[in-house]
Amino acid sequence: MTEMALPERVAVSGGAGFIGSHTVELLVGQRCRVMVIDDLSHACPWQPPPGVELVVADCGSEEAARALANFRPEAVLHLAARGGVQRARRDPAAHVRAAVASTVGFFQSAVAAGARRIVTASSGGATYGRPPRLPASERMRPAPLSAYGASKVAEEVYLACTGREYGISTMALRYGNVYGERQDGTGEAGLVAITCNRLVTGTAPVINGDGQQTRDFIHVSDVAAANLAALASRRSGVVNVGTGQETSVGQVVAALVRLAGFPGKPSHASALPGEVRRVCLDTARARRWLGWTPRMSLDRGLRCTFAYFQSALADSSRFRELDRCE
């Protein structure tokens, strides 16, 4: 990780969610003072550590703006998200209103509150579309295939504009396919979490398409570490956060089936529109700019994630047993 010091006061939008909760824990471990702004629409089963202020609000709202003004963060990390590729495709205009407008409002509120560093979460798969070669480099021109990807590019452009206008440093982190503990396995995005959730309940996993489509799967612990490195840096621009490894959806599902000891075979559904066919990310810039490299292997990450879902199922079963006894 970079040797530069972390800001002492950091506001994290979406800090009660999957990636946010892991990042907040690391920030608290580094003795940063943290405020979380989250509308709890995608909150995970997690309680903020002692001393972390939680503001329940949309990050682009007036309430969030007031909270930022009172907190006076040195830096902000924008992790709040509104659905994925398919949700944005169903109603692109609503997605822009809910996601892009809210994001731009958050950037403006952060600047007004005195923040001198803004880091935002973007997408390494959705922004590149069909890259001419792999691994995809930040030097490649964005060419999104979906409304979701277009919205992420728009947020990157707004962020860079904000930095130039107000003379602050900004960075957009283009994540690979993030997976790991606390991810929601009941939604329509997040292959690893959805597959784990189905397997621990004895249900066959589903592969959309032929399973040969590839992704750059990166564990949430590595993403959280990259978030901290980006907050500590003063470089501006876009940075890929991935592993540089191209892994097929079918390979990942097969590995989880083996871990579960599931006797059946995955079922197949139609390929989803707007999804990229192949992607993996060049991480050379992350090494140079942030001093960051991923540490979690895919094999270990899948084992840890599956164990988490097994434990979560056991805990929920115990709660049901207690309810019946009462």
**The pLDDT of residue 316:** 61
Residues in the chain: 326
pLDDT tens track for 115-160: 999 999 999 989 999 999 999 999 999 999 999 999 999 999 999 9
How confident is residue 188, by pLDDT bands cut at 50, 70 and 90?
Answer: confident
**SS percent in the chain: helix, strand, coil, step 5:** 45, 15, 40
Mean pLDDT over each residue of the chain, to the nearest integer: 93
- The model's pTM is 0.94
Q: Report how far residue 80's alpha carbon sits from residue 61's, in angstroms, rounded to the nearest whole number.
A: 13
More confident residue, 85 or 105: 105
DSSP-assigned beta bridge partners for residue 38: 56
DSSP letters spanning 205-232: -EEETTS--EE-EEEHHHHHHHHHHHHH
Pairing, β 117-123 against β 75-78: parallel
Residue 28, helix vs strand vs coil: helix
Q: Which of 128, 148, 175, 179 is catalytic?
A: 148
pLDDT of residue 24: 98
Interval 205-230 mean pLDDT: 97
User: Which has more pLDDT, 318 or 39?
Assistant: 39
Q: Is 148 a catalytic residue?
A: yes
Pairing of strands 33-38, 9-13: parallel
pLDDT score of 186: 86
Q: Using one digit for the tens of pLDDT, what is the confidence trace for 43-101?
A: 888 899 999 999 999 999 999 999 999 999 999 999 998 767 888 788 888 888 888 99
Q: Which CATH class is domain 9-176+220-242+275-295?
A: alpha beta
Q: What is the pLDDT, as a whole number, of residue 45?
A: 85
Strands (E), the chain: 9-13, 33-38, 53-56, 75-78, 117-123, 169-175, 177-179, 206-208, 214-215, 217-219, 237-241, 247-248, 267-269
Q: Where are the domains of the chain?
A: 9-176+220-242+275-295
| Tens digit of each residue's pLDDT (9 = 90 or more) over 316-325 | 654 344 334 4
Per-residue pLDDT, 275: 87
